[in-house]
Amino acid sequence: MLITFGSAGEVLARSVAGTLGLPLLEPNRRVFPDGEQYIRVGSDVRGQDVAVFQSLAYDPDRLLIEYTLLVDALRGGGARSVVGVIPYLAYARQDSVFDPNEPVSAKLIPRIIESAGTDRLITIDMHLHRFKSPSDVFTVPALNLSAMPILAEQYRKLVHSSAATVVGPDLESGQWARVVAGLLDAPCMVLEKERLGDRDVRIRGELPLKGKAALVVDDIVSTGKTMIEVIRWLKQEGANRIDALVTHALLVEEAEEKMKNAGLDELICSDTVPGRQGTVSVASIIARALKKS
Ligand code: R5P
């Protein structure tokens, strides 16, 4: 197998290639003056199985097109198979038509990924809410790995709060909160979240947290608004320590600073979003999955 990467997949690709002792192909990329992207794989890929790393964080539209160009180039060059390694799969949250005439992005993006020539997909903690499994939106085999076990281990090492209560901010976060609670042997509570707009949410719930530590678990933190509302609520309820554990730390608009100002002690996250390399790496779990395949 060969490993290659788009511009938001390099760090993980290098790490996984190093772990597995696999050759790494660095594609040539450039952007035309009018903004179109160009990509070329400079090596012979005929008959090869190739893993393409690309995260879809921060500039998902450009990164998705870059991914499809790269996959098309590999297929055109005769690659035998392509496995897309997309640790952060953007657009999964729009999984329904909430208002008339909206797209169901969570279904469309997988179709685009597949149509480029992807034979298999590996992703991490895909946002599954109304769709319950990657196979609800992908027709090719799609493996949804989880960073929750390595993040929970990091929490245990760093914070080691045996009295912590694991808190899921909303219904869909329950799937990750329950896993973490199970791993930490901790109680778990899932709150009710009402979204009032792109940057505005309201949290409701009744928890006996006075004098206790809380660990808020979610798949994504973006603007941090969800976390901030939960942190404020937990403080009101008397929690004496508040940590957060999140797979995909998008952290836009100074979200981390705002969460810390609201009273967050520690944010534990993975490196599915490029630029979060000081955190827990998912490289080992991706390497294990590629080795098995
Ligand atoms: C959505 O339901 C996700 O699980 C996260 O709760 C959400 O994306 C976080 O977004 P933000 O940080 O902007 O509140």
Nearest Cα residue to 119 out of 85, 145, 71, 82: 82
Find out whether 105 and 117 touch, Cβ atoms under 8 Å: no
Q: How much is the pLDDT for 150?
A: 97
**pLDDT value at 35 more than 80:** yes
Write down the pLDDT at residue 176: 98
Asked if 178 and 149 count as a contact pair (C-beta separation under 8 A), the reply is: no
Indicate whether 134 and 152 sit together in one domain. Answer: no
Confidence of residue 162 (pLDDT cuts 50, 70, 90): low
- Residue 274: inside a domain, yes or no? no
Which protein residues touch ligand 1 with a CB less than 6 Å away?
93, 127, 169-170, 172-173, 201, 218-226
Confidence of residue 159 (pLDDT cuts 50, 70, 90): confident
In a domain, 275, yes or no: no
As a whole number, the mean pLDDT across the chain is 94
What is the count of structural domains for the chain?
Answer: 2
CA dihedral sign, ordered 226, 154, 248, 114: negative
Residue 173 lies in domain: 148-269
Q: Both 125 and 175 in a single domain?
A: no
Residue 139 lies in a domain: yes
Give residue 215 CA to ligand 1 midpoint distance, Å: 16
The answer on 179 and 105 residing in a single domain is no
Atom 3, ligand 1: residue with shortest CA distance? 220
Residue nearest to atom 10 of ligand 1 (CA): 222
Q: What length does the chain have?
A: 293
Q: Which of 220, 228, 251 to mutate to test the pocket of ligand 1 (most atoms within 8 A of CB)?
A: 220
For residue 161, the model assigns a pLDDT of 63
Instruction: Indicate which residue of 157, 193, 225, 258 is catalytic.
Output: 193
188 and 209: one domain?
yes
Residue 206's pLDDT is what?
67
Q: What is the Å distance from ligand 1's center to 14 Cα?
A: 29
**226 C-alpha to center of ligand 1: Å?**
6
Q: What is the pLDDT of residue 37?
A: 98
Q: Is residue 45 part of a domain?
A: yes
Spatial contact of 113 and 68, defined as CB atoms under 8 Å apart: yes
* Pair 171, 186 in one domain: yes
- pLDDT computed for residue 208 by the predictor: 82
Residues 65 and 160 both lie in one domain? no
What does the pLDDT look like over 184-221, one tens digit per residue? 999 999 998 777 887 777 777 766 889 999 999 999 99
Active site residue 193: yes
Report how far ligand 1's centroid is from the alpha carbon of 169 (Å). 9
Note whether 101 and 173 are same-domain residues.
no
Give the closest residue to 220 by CA, choosing from 160, 147, 134.
Answer: 147
In this structure, the answer to whether residues 217 and 255 fall within a common structural domain is yes
pLDDT band at 20 (very low <50, low <70, confident <90, very high): very high
Same domain flag for 107 and 166: no
Residue at 46 is within a domain: yes
Q: Tell me which of 131-135, 193-197, 224-228 is least confident.
A: 193-197
In a domain, 206, yes or no: yes
Which atom of ligand 1 is the closest one to the Cα of 255? 12
**CA of 84: how far to CAs of 15, 21, 128, 278, in Å?**
16, 19, 19, 24
CB under 8 Å to 277, separation ≥6 — which residues? Answer: 11, 271
241-292: pLDDT as tens digits: 999 999 999 999 999 999 999 999 999 999 999 988 778 999 999 999 999 9
CA 114 to centroid of ligand 1, rounded, Å: 26
Dihedral sign from CA coordinates of 284, 285, 291, 292: positive
The pLDDT tens digits of the residues spanning 68-120 come to 999 999 999 999 999 999 999 999 999 999 999 999 999 999 999 999 999 99
Task: Verify that 217 and 169 share a domain, yes or no.
Answer: yes
Shared-domain flag, residues 103 and 160: no
Residue 68 within any structural domain of the chain: yes
CA 193 – CA 230 distance, rounded (Å): 9
Atom of ligand 1 nearest to the CA of 221: 12
Ligand 1 atom at minimal distance to the Cα of residue 127: 4
33 lies in the same domain as 72: yes
Give the domain CATH number at 34.
3.40.50.2020
Tell me whether residue 276 is in a domain: no
